[in-house]
Amino acid sequence: MPTYVAKINSPLEPEEVWRRVSDVTTFAQWDPGTRRAVQVEGDGPGSGAVYVLTVGSLRGPLDLRYEVTEFEPPRRLHLVADTGTLRSDDRITVDPAGTGSRVTYRAYLGLHGPWVVFTPLLALAFRRIAGQGAAGLRTYLDGSSS
Domain ranges of the chain: 3-140
H helix and E strand count, the chain: 3, 7
pLDDT (tens digit per residue) in 68-113: 999 999 999 999 999 988 888 999 999 999 999 999 999 888 877 7
Question: Residue 46, Cβ neighbours under 10 Å: how many?
Answer: 11
DSSP class of residue 48 equals T
pLDDT (tens digit per residue) in 16-56: 999 999 999 999 999 998 999 999 999 999 999 999 999 87
**Predicted confidence band of residue 59 (pLDDT cuts 50, 70, 90):** confident
Is residue 111 within 8 Å of residue 126, measured between CB atoms? no
**Predicted confidence band of residue 130 (pLDDT cuts 50, 70, 90):** confident
Superfamily of domain 3-140: START domain (3.30.530.20)
Backbone angles phi, psi at 59, to 5 degrees: -100, 10
DSSP class of residue 128 equals H
Separation of CA 128 from chain center: 14
